[in-house]
Amino acid sequence: GDHAYNMGNGNDYHGDAYMQAFQDVLARCPWIPVIGNHESTMGEGKDKVDVSTEQRYLNQSWGVIYGQDGAAIETGTAQTTATTSLGHLLTRSSFYGPASHGAAPSRTSQWYSVDLGLIHFVMLDLDPGPPAVFAGDQAAWAAADLAAADANRANVPWIVVTSHFPLYTAAFYDDDAWNASAAWYNGDAAEYERGGDGTPWAETPHFEGCPKGTGGDNGNGTCATVKDVVEASITSLGALLDEHHVDIYAAGHVHSYSATWPIFAGVAAKKSLVDPHGTVHVVEGNGGVPGTHHPASVMPCTKPSPQEPPSPMDLFRMCGRGMNYGRLVTTNASALTYEHVDNSNGDITDSWSIVKTPS
């Protein structure tokens, strides 16, 4: 998600520049985009617009309107409100491709799945709302798709679920983050480093709290917190990941890197990636976010000695920051490798493999 990071910036040239930069790659490689919060905003100073103008940007990569009416699709009268080449590319290609021909066709470009080589990818819209988008039709479809994928391991042995919003990230456990305002976390303002000078997030506040007495563990519940929306997602989607033995859940949104140990039922199943009984959650959220200049780095998330009581950070095996991207590599049903790659030089600064031994 957050593909061009507010396509309305620069008199709409931002979206054009994104496609021009990536057109050579996209002509040769599969592209399976998911929805981020920046696909539904217009950029700084452009959020207060009439509904018709907002809808244009909403459909740049959302495409919800395309494919939601089955009868219209069957009769060839379906329409999309996309008004740009990027909008039409994303909505139509997603719908006529994986959304129509997956193991469990979703018939909408809003969520879908596709097999690429030995990996089954499930693309979800986890916008926390309110109301939360992962419910109803999407949740029912995801359950059916994951059940079919889990039963098809002999042909496609790995399952990766992805969405823009994470279920687990080390940033949630920064001071005051857990009880911060969900509206701030979900929105546009929290995406920017406050000074724009590349100062690491650890040194600047990046979550804004609920007004005193309105949210958090001690509030009256009128202001939803980060904890509220994340725990709701863990309850709904996390249960499906457990039930269908999903190997990796990949997300973005938070502008840092973190990778967990295998998680099952909300706890670390084991601190090993060999025959894990759980899902590894990886956040690769800084492919090139504006304002990031500091060198890339990775480091352990926790102190080496055991902590009593156990820290939530014990769920994580590695954390990092800087501009990076992730790469999945597999050639068989025995090992799936994730590589955390530095944008500036191509160096692999973290690498880990899920290994499954023959039973």
Between the CA of residue 9 and those of 38, 174, 175, 179, what are the distances in Å? Answer: 11, 31, 32, 31
Provide mean pLDDT across the span 209-213: 63
**Is the Cβ–Cβ distance between 264 and 277 less than 8 Å?**
yes
Residue 108 has pLDDT above 90, yes or no: no
pLDDT, average across residues 183-207: 51
DSSP readout, 151-183? HTTTTS-EEEEE-SS-S--GGGGSTTTTTBBHH
The number of beta carbons lying within 10 Å of the beta carbon of residue 104 is 16
Output the six-digit token pair for 4.
Answer: 């061009």
This prediction has a pTM of: 0.82
pLDDT at 105: 84
Distance of alpha carbon 210 from alpha carbon 184, whole angstroms? 9
What single-letter DSSP state applies at residue 40? G
Q: Where are the alpha helices (DSSP H) in the chain?
A: 13-26, 51-58, 70-74, 85-96, 98-101, 136-151, 182-186, 226-233, 239-243
Q: Determine the distance from the C-alpha atom of residue 178 to the mean position of all C-alpha atoms in its chain, rounded to a whole number.
A: 18
**Token pair of 52 as six digits:** 């018709």
Of 10, 7, 14, the C-alpha closest to 42 is: 7
Strand partners, 113: 122
* Average of per-residue pLDDT across 249-262: 91
Q: Which helix (H) or strand (E) holds 97?
A: none
DSSP conformation class of 190: G
Query: Distance between CA atoms of 335 and 354, rounded to whole angstroms?
Result: 6
Sign of the alpha-carbon torsion through 190, 195, 197, 200: negative
In this prediction, residue 39 carries a pLDDT of 61
Please, are residues 189 and 216 in contact by the beta-carbon 8 Å criterion? no
From its phi and psi, is residue 263 left (phi > 0), alpha (psi between -120 and 50) or beta?
beta
Mean pLDDT confidence for 41-56: 43
Rounded to whole angstroms, the Cα distance separating 70 from 147 reads: 23
Residue 74 has a pLDDT of 53
Give the pLDDT confidence score for residue 86 in this predicted structure. 62
Across the chain, what does the average pLDDT equal?
Answer: 76
Residue whose token pair is 């599969």: 30
Q: Which of 296, 295, 283 is nearest to 255 (CA)?
A: 283
Residue of 44 and 355 predicted with greater confidence: 355
Structure tokens at 349: 């600064």
Q: Which residue has the tokens 């997603």?
A: 94
Q: In this model, does residue 41 exceed pLDDT 60? A: no
Q: Which region among 95-99, 164-168, 226-230, 260-264 has the lowest average model confidence (pLDDT)?
A: 95-99
* The most confident of 15-19, 52-56, 116-120, 173-177, by mean pLDDT: 116-120
pLDDT at 112 over 80: yes
Residue 80: band (very low, low, confident or very high) from pLDDT cuts 50, 70, 90:
low
Q: Please choose, from the candidates 132, 129, 106, the residue with its C-alpha nearest in 3D space to the C-alpha of residue 235.
A: 132
Overall average pLDDT of the 163-186 stretch:
80
